[in-house]
Structure 1
Amino acid sequence: MAELHEDARRRIELRGRRFPRPAATRVITVANQKGGVGKTTTAVNLAAALAQSGLTVLVLDNDPQGNASTALGVEHRAGTPSIYEVLIEDLPMEKAVQESPEIPGLWCLPATIDLSGAEIELVSMVARETRLRTALDRYLGWRQASGLPDVDYVLVDCPPSLGLLTVNAFVVAREVLIPIQCEYYALEGLSQLLKTIQLIQAHLNPTLHVSTILLTMYDARTNLAQQVAAEVRQHFPDRTLRTTVPRSVRISEAPSYGQTVMTYDAGSSGALAYLEAAREVAERGAAPTNGSSMGMPAMAAGEEEER
């Protein structure tokens, strides 16, 4: 009954809602080196929710698995112009970007199987850490010169590792969004991720900061989920969204139909949760968070190390 009441509240609050445009393009990398926490699901559904609310959104699928491309319904078979050609062959991004057939204003730079070899090829390349940022800057400049609408949000989906593809994703972004699964070991490895972000900030991208943490796979019926949520909110009170994303069969089913849950079942609990999370992200604006740019208080980092 509590879940039904929450869904009803969200439907009333969010129906026909238009989200505010940021003052400048917000580039957000969705990252967590732990697999299975909902990175791709979060990236595509937040992107879809923002686009449905009147914003122009670009998803950069930087994961060789290409799951974000699948969920957005864009072509990503071998041979399709993709992020691989952009990174390795300097293909202009506008020649590879595709619009999602389901949602106007939602664009995707797809990933093909070729990207699986990019980690090795990038090692010997000049400016290997900044190639994605250079390509994106050129693309945004091209859109402006062509009289096209500015891109409001760029969301970057990452592989579950800390290789050169993820480094490129951190260098291209200004903000990091970390999805955290409400399960045991949810915070495992988080301090390592935050140390990596600190290194990127110190040497390659001083503007990078953790702006947002989203709790995913939340089951309010279990004490464990409530304990994990409480712990995350204690360590990251200003960065953790109020919205939690529930476990949802609809969210899991949607990619198999080449859709996000926002179009697959817009009235489901999962879709309403991502829509509300997108509203929170939009309302927070583009201003960097005050405090530690690494996104984790020193004491919290120490506590995480002890765990």
Structure 2
Amino acid sequence: MLAYTTYSEAGGVGKTTTAANLAAAHARAGLDVLVVPLDPQDGDLSRLFGVDMNRTESVDNLVRHMIQRPKGEFDDLIETVEGIDIVPEHNMLSDLADYLRREKEQAEAMGEAFGMHSQLLRTLREAGVQDRYDVLICDPPATESPHLYNAINATRSLVLPVEPSEKGNAAVQGLESLVAGIQESLNIDIGVLAALPVGYKDTNDQRAILNAIPYSTPEIVGERSSLFEGCWKEQCSAFEYVRTHRDRQRDYELETLAKFDRLARRLEQEVDIEAPTPPAPGTVDHDAVEARL
């Protein structure tokens, strides 16, 4: 299984948009994809795909499963959009640190161990996710938190949306110390599969920053605010937005879709996954796409 967390220390660089469109690129190629977003903010992946309707305290949700107080089966949490399985975010994620801390204190009082940062991994393993899905994508908030640590512990790999600016460069430079600290505290190895510069305008400064990124950058996405804002407005991936909501196909947008397709194939190759029905990169009238919608 291909498993990765989309992460950026800097906010507003398209982390959630990257996760959503890579998920769509994997799914439209015929792979089974599960996305586990962990960001309690309103502008989250559940909102992007329109599956954030029920956030009341009474409903079952991922946090309940992570603290071993589920109200139902894990499969009942899943919503499917554009052929992608998604575990919707819930308001309880805002207090995830407190819930996990209380569980840890209770376990220790009983002489038991409780890993605060391994509960997502345990939940997914108990649900058989590794055997049922080809791809797992986690999308945590940018801040250091149990959300981020649980996501990284569950996936062990990162895809990094990067703003080609000094702010983005600083975020990349700070990543090594963050990863080193997480590796040491969790006793795991973490790899970076790729960096994805987003909002690239090919200026001299941006070229210099791009050359300084110490990770593979197989694709570079230009400034596409109109496309991505349209995705949020219509609550869909960029593939579905171009396919359904554009009155005409724009070459530069099709090339952006192609970049997500090509990056998805590159990530799949990292773990020797061969997508059964990969479309021509950027194609939006692919038969397999229609079959999965």
Q: What TM-score do the two structures reach when normalised by structure 2?
A: 0.78
> How many angstroms apart in 2 are the aligned matches of 1:90 and 1:174?
26
Superposition map of 1:81-230 within 5 A: 81-91=60-70, 92-100=73-81, 103-104=82-83, 106-125=84-103, 126-140=114-128, 150-220=132-202, 222-230=203-211
Distance 1:38-1:279 versus aligned 2 partners, 3 A rule? same
Identity value in percent: 22
Shift of 1:190: 2.9
Partner of 1:18: none
Match of 2:51 in 1: 74
Question: In 2, distance between residues paired with 1:54 and 1:205?
Answer: 34
Relative contact order higher in (CA < 8 Å, ≥ 6 apart): 2
Q: How much has 1:89 moved relative to structure 2?
A: 4.5
Distance 1:78 1:218 in 2: 36
What is the correspondence of 1:267-282 to structure 2 with a 5 Å cutoff? 268=253, 269-282=255-268
Mapped partners of 1:273, 1:246: distance in 2: 10
Shift of 1:59: 0.5
| 1:32-52, Cα deviation, whole Å (9 max, x unpaired) | 121111111111110011101
Q: How far does residue 219 in structure 1 lie from its aligned partner after superposition?
A: 1.6
Question: 1:13-52 alignment to 2 at 5 Å?
Answer: 25-52=1-28
Q: In structure 2, which of residues 239, 242, 253 is the aligned counterpart of residue 265 of structure 1?
A: 242
C-alpha change, 1:270 and 1:73, in structure 2 (3 Å) is: farther
The gaps in structure 1 that reach 5 residues or longer are 1-24, 145-149, 288-307
The alpha carbon displacement at 1:276 in A equals: 2.2
What is the rounded CA distance, in whole Å, between the counterparts of 2:195 and 2:240 in structure 1? 24
Cα offset, 1:30, TM superposition: 0.9
1:160 positional shift: 1.4
Cα deviation 1:121-152 (Å, max 9, x = unaligned): 222323211100000111126x85xxxxx301
Which deviations, in whole Å up to 9, do the C-alpha atoms of 1:218-265 show, x marking residues without a partner? 123x22322221221xx33xxx23211111111222022110111101
The CA distance in 1 between the partners of 2:175 and 2:74, in whole Å, is: 28
Whether the 8 Å contact between 1:88 and 1:118 is mirrored in structure 2 is: no
Query: Take 1:247 and 1:263, find their aligned partners in 2: how far apart are those partners?
Result: 19
Check whether the contact 2:163–2:197 (CA below 8 A) recurs between aligned residues: yes
Amino acid at match of 2:88: P
1:244 aligns with 2:220: yes
Deviations 1:57-116 (A, max 9, x none): 11001111251112223244312533222223543422211111xx22x10011022211
Q: In the aligned structure 1, how far is the partner of 2:133 from the partner of 2:259?
A: 24
Give SS of 1:33's match. coil
Moved more, 30-39 or 181-190: 181-190
Q: Which residue identity does 2:163 align to in structure 1? A: Q
Measure the CA separation in 2 of the matches of 1:251 and 1:124.
39
Bigger drift between 86-95 and 240-249 goes to 86-95
